[in-house]
């Protein structure tokens, strides 16, 4: 469909809570297509939430397989109204975000999660994810709550890093 502009912090729309999707219509299908196109066009992104392109609905597209170090994953996922229903363990992970392009940061996340969501056919599903994929899904679900990884950085003084710029 279209590659969309990604909102960048401190855009206030990134802090808004997204609305539940109640049905799959042309608007939701277009948002899913635009999210997919925008994620693919970035060349490096493994996930994106609708709120990051200014659409205030609970939709995420994620693909942990795009991370070469991620061995266990579910491939490309379209998550509508995702909800983490169980989590266990703890992992510290260095996160980055298209909406915070100049920084990365160390964040504590659940090592393993159980996630309930609807797919693009609005069928309810539950998956278990761990390690990188679990972190990715928690990061993207946070966007729908108006939470950025910056809000979860362990210590803003010692665990927030400026990204290196390569020429």
Which sequence positions are flagged as catalytic? 140
DSSP classification of residue 9? T
CA atoms of 107 and 138, how far apart (whole Å): 11
123 dihedral zone (left: phi>0; alpha: psi -120 to 50; beta): beta
DSSP classification of residue 163? P
Peptide bond into 10 cis (omega under 30): yes
Task: Give the pair of three-digit tokens for residue 139.
Answer: 């990061």
Longest Cα pair distance anywhere in the chain, in angstroms? 45
Task: Give the pair of three-digit tokens for residue 80.
Answer: 């509508």
User: Strand order in 160-162's β-sheet?
Assistant: 91-97, 100-109, 160-162
Task: Give the pair of three-digit tokens for residue 97.
Answer: 């975000």
Residues in the chain, total: 167
């Amino acid at each position: 469909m279209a590659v969309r502009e990604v909102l960048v912090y401190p855009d206030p729309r990134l802090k808004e809570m997204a609305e539940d999707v109640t049905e799959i219509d042309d608007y939701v299908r277009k948002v899913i297509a635009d999210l997919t196109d925008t994620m693919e066009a970035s060349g490096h992104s493994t996930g994106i939430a609708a709120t990051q392109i200014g659409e205030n609905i609970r939709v995420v597209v994620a693909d942990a397989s795009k991370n070469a170090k991620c061995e266990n994953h579910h491939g490309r996922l379209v998550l509508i109204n995702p909800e983490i229903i169980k989590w266990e363990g703890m992992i510290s992970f260095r996160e980055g975000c298209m909406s915070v392009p100049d920084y990365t940061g160390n964040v504590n996340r659940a090592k393993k999660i159980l996630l309930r969501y609807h797919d693009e056919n609005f069928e309810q599903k539950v998956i278990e994810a761990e390690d990188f994929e679990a972190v990715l899904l928690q990061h993207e679900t946070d966007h729908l709550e108006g939470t950025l990884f910056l809000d979860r950085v362990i210590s803003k003084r010692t665990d927030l890093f400026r990204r290196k710029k390569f020429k």
